[in-house]
Amino acid sequence: MDPRGHTRRQILKGAIGAAGIALGAPVRRLIAAPAQAVSEGAGIQPLSDNLFVLKIPGESNVVARTGADGVLLVDGGSARAADALTKAISGLPGGGPVHTIFNTHWHPEQTGSNEQLGKAGKTIIAHENTRLWLTTDVTWPWNGQQFKRLPKIAQPNRTFYTTGALDPGVRYGYIPDAAHTDGDMYVYFTQQNVLAVGDAVSGQGWPIVDYATGGWIGGIVGGLQRLQTLANEATRIVPGRGPVLGLKDLKAQYEMYGTIYDRLTQLLNKGRGPGEAVAAQPTKEFDAQMGNPDEFVRRAFESLWAYVSPDA
Ligand SMILES: [Zn+2]
């Protein structure tokens, strides 16, 4: 199949038809886990005396900074975990009411506390693209999963385009490569040398390439390169899921995704389709460490179509 000469929409339809509807691991991750999972205690990983990673079972990482003015969050778990998160925050040393939350992107696993916090008049900061995705319904073309827009009160009430600072200790910025979505952002805690990056970096298993809202495999490579320039040897990097990473992990991931990107673009240039890309095993030497790559390879390949077709 030659993508040239087709419109982007036709190409994506073709891709979906070829891929069929498959619920792989990355998709299941976004579907509600059993209720008892959130009633279990949250794990708290201190990064300093006032900065913590909150790990609620089945949820994405939440970063919390405590202070005299209250608590600052990077991401807020899914809606069903809002109460568990509130409980975990109140248990933090120096914990108090949340005054600000960053949404590293629009996914429900990051924005589930927005409604509660918005109603309480708190500040919700995100890239403008993230706000826009939260004002509209989204359907993932590869599995039909639907996401409802958030009520106005739950939408980010402070947005930015490039960079910003909340106070001298918190700088944030856009990750324009679109590693995961086109609204990805980082939050850098200067005193603690901690960089929270959301799902722009996966710390556990193959990432979701959400090309429905702008993410693509080239963006994963570009984002990893960019984030290395923001980090040093001592920086602790908190991804959306998985353990805290270091600069050497970003370097290793950059090499790996760069290799995969090259192979997929070669397959694309030969006119191959997603099924053929999976069959070509472009991630072969990484699979033992990373797990079954099939869904990732399909999404990554389809994301290339979305980017390289002439009218995209
Ligand atoms: Zn995500």
pLDDT (0 to 100) of residue 119 = 98
> Is pLDDT of 208 > 60?
yes
User: What's the 105 CA to ligand 1 centre distance in angstroms?
Assistant: 7
User: What's the 186 CA to ligand 1 centre distance in angstroms?
Assistant: 13
Give me the percent of the chain exceeding a pLDDT of 70.
86
Q: Count CA atoms within 13 Å of residue 215 on its CB side.
A: 27
User: What's the 165 CA to ligand 1 centre distance in angstroms?
Assistant: 23
Contacting residues for 69 by C-beta, under 8 A, at least 6 apart: 99
Helix count (H) and strand count (E) of the chain? 12, 14
- Using DSSP's 3-state secondary structure scheme, residue 235 falls into coil
For residue 291, report the phi and psi dihedrals to the nearest 5 degrees.
100, 180
pLDDT (0 to 100) of residue 311 = 52
- The first and second tokens of residue 85, run together, are 């998160």
> Is pLDDT of 48 > 90?
yes
User: What's the 199 CA to ligand 1 centre distance in angstroms?
Assistant: 5
Q: Residues 16-35, buried b or exposed e (16+ Cβ, 10 A)?
A: beebeeeebebbebbeeeee
Segment 58-83, tens digit of pLDDT: 999 999 999 999 999 999 999 999 89
Find out whether 277 and 301 touch, Cβ atoms under 8 Å. yes
Q: Count CA atoms within 13 Å of residue 13 on its CB side.
A: 5
For the whole model, what pTM was predicted?
0.86
User: What's the 180 CA to ligand 1 centre distance in angstroms?
Assistant: 7
> Is pLDDT of 97 > 90?
yes
> For residue 219, is it left (φ>0), alpha (ψ between -120 and 50) or beta?
alpha
What would the mean pLDDT of 217-243 be, rounded to a whole number? 97
pLDDT (0 to 100) of residue 10 = 36
- Name residue 237's beta-bridge partners: 195, 245
- The first and second tokens of residue 278, run together, are 């999976």
First and final CA of the chain: distance in angstroms? 17
Give me the helices (H) in the chain, please: 8-19, 25-28, 36-39, 82-90, 108-111, 114-119, 128-134, 217-230, 247-269, 274-279, 287-290, 294-308
Segment 103-154, tens digit of pLDDT: 999 999 999 999 999 999 999 999 999 999 999 999 999 999 999 999 999 9
What are the distances in angstroms from CA 260 to CA 22, 82, 278, 311?
Answer: 22, 37, 12, 25
User: What's the 109 CA to ligand 1 centre distance in angstroms?
Assistant: 7
